[in-house]
Structure 1
Amino acid sequence: MRRSALVLLTALPCAAALPAWWRELPRKPALAARFTQESDSAVFGKLSQTGTLVLARGGRLRVDYASGLRVLADGRELVQYDPDTRTAQRMDLIQAVRDFPLLGLLLEPARIGLLFRPEALPGEGVRLVPREPGLPEVHVEGRNGLLKALTWTDPTGARQRLELVDPRVPPTPSPATFRFDPPPGTRWATAGR
């Protein structure tokens, strides 16, 4: 009986076994980095985009793609702006996180445990096992208390990878960093704006 209890305890994932960078991640007030986002699918092949991002506590996010596409979240709303079509789309941030759970990984690392069960991988990796059907398993890499990369397979079967290049904790970003000021001629794709 005693031996089987010991075997059971050693088989359970242990929070202490998670890497130090993972345990420190929710404590970071902000994160800034350049990034490379890659998608590899049977239909479209391999696609890659680059840009910069800034994250801050309270659900604040700014992503500027090199192509000009911009995504901003101020803690209440998420806005996506496409300069090619001069259109913007606004949605409630809570709804956006429900529709795109991986967005929650970036915006609120302290709440990851609600949707995923973290498990230590060999080395410095963490596997996020979904707690709900429909969510992908996510492999997360980090270093020095900072997120370094996310890898998952999306619902279409495409392998996705978001790699942060030289992530750092910046000085506290101002609220203006996350505010969308629509350029003249912007058309809103959502009603009421």
Structure 2
Amino acid sequence: MDFSLLKGVLESKSYGKIADICDELMLQVAAQGIAFQDEWPYAIHLLGHIYVNDVNSARFLWKTIPSAIKETKPEVIGAWTIGQRLWTRDYAGVYEAIRGFEWSPEAQGLVSAFSDLYTKRMFELLLSAYSTITVSDTALFLGMNEEDATNYAVQHGWNFHPSSRMLTVKRQPTVTEQKLDPSKLQRLTEYVFHLEH
């Protein structure tokens, strides 16, 4: 089986493409009737779906993985543990699952990139959901200790109040760009002209 395309994507750190490439390869191999269970990169495939935040596809893939693979490939279980935590919205558990396994060199870069991406997603979630939040809750959501979470938030413009151990969220100004459609402007001009005359 030729995994050169997948290896190239991993080496170039184009992690957002992994799930699609693995899905396509799996369909091609299945269409040819080739048995691929033992050599299939199930952990990378699961992590690829998790990276693009497609937990439903990861769940479906998990259900199709043979029991023998689940019993003999701990990294597959490690990848699925992340998926389970995402599915149940166990935010701190996601970080525990990431740190709780010693990933292979092939998976390490992908897991690390997912961890960074997940931290950014959680920070955006906090940004949209809170005006103030405790340092301990921030640390829980970001998978950091309290000092690192405070530093991370302050670096992103939030204010820290040491006496209350609270962070005040600094919302980024939203810039909405309106596109001017010349045909709509023309119709509006004609309508206003019609009303005035």
* TM-score bracket for the superposition, by shorter chain length: under 0.3
Higher relative contact order (CA 8 A, sep 6+): 1
Give TM-score scaled by structure 1 length.
Answer: 0.25
Give TM-score scaled by structure 2 length.
Answer: 0.25
Higher helix share: 2
Give 1 or 2 for the bigger CA radius of gyration. 2
